[in-house]
Structure 1
Amino acid sequence: MLQENRKTVNSEWYTTICLPEVFEEISKNDRQCRNIFHHDIASYHTSAETTRFLNGQNIELMGHQPYSLDLAPNDFSSFPTVKNKSHGQRFPSREEAVDAFKMHVFEIS
């Protein structure tokens, strides 16, 4: 996820801005669903602040083994494809960027 003004993503931004937006979108679709997050080993994913926040939201975390191609296939197939298709494009709003991302993801077989 891109942070406005190209600032570095940290656990404070992740837990106060990013995740609440994600949870709001998830709750629009299904309030009764079981949410399991798959985080990699990025520092803002593994920080104590993020862990406390997710525990408070009753979110399950799926473990991530470092350097495992089997557990992170999107890093090596889907995301580079989307990145290549989006290369050089500029989006006037976050919503338009998300819509373009979704369109490219759904094109992947």
Structure 2
Amino acid sequence: MSNSIAFVVYLIFLMLGATTAGYMEDKYPASVLEDTNLDMFGLTRKYDYPLESHFVTTEDKYILCLFRLRRPKARPVFLMHGLLDSSITWILSGPWAALGYYLYDLGYDVWMGNA
């Protein structure tokens, strides 16, 4: 009986190892992996987008950093990240998938907040 339980436990661990092994492999293109080491300015420079940073001090003396994909005289749009996140969320997945780049390409002046 104890041998059969040990065998079942062994099979469970074997299946878990087989299902998670695919996540350990590096299947991403080199350009995507390179992006993970870049900051906001590095990403926008790589994809040739104009980025500015602005600092705003609130009434309670908290200093916030805002980033802007600058398009003068265009309609502004403000993107704010969720809890435990940052403004890089809006550009991290690249021009082909990120909302910040997409809105800029549609003609908006894109502001991204950090808190």
When normalised by structure 1's length, the TM-score is: 0.21
Structure 1 or 2: more helix by fraction? 1
Structure 1 or 2: more strand by fraction? 2
When normalised by structure 2's length, the TM-score is: 0.21
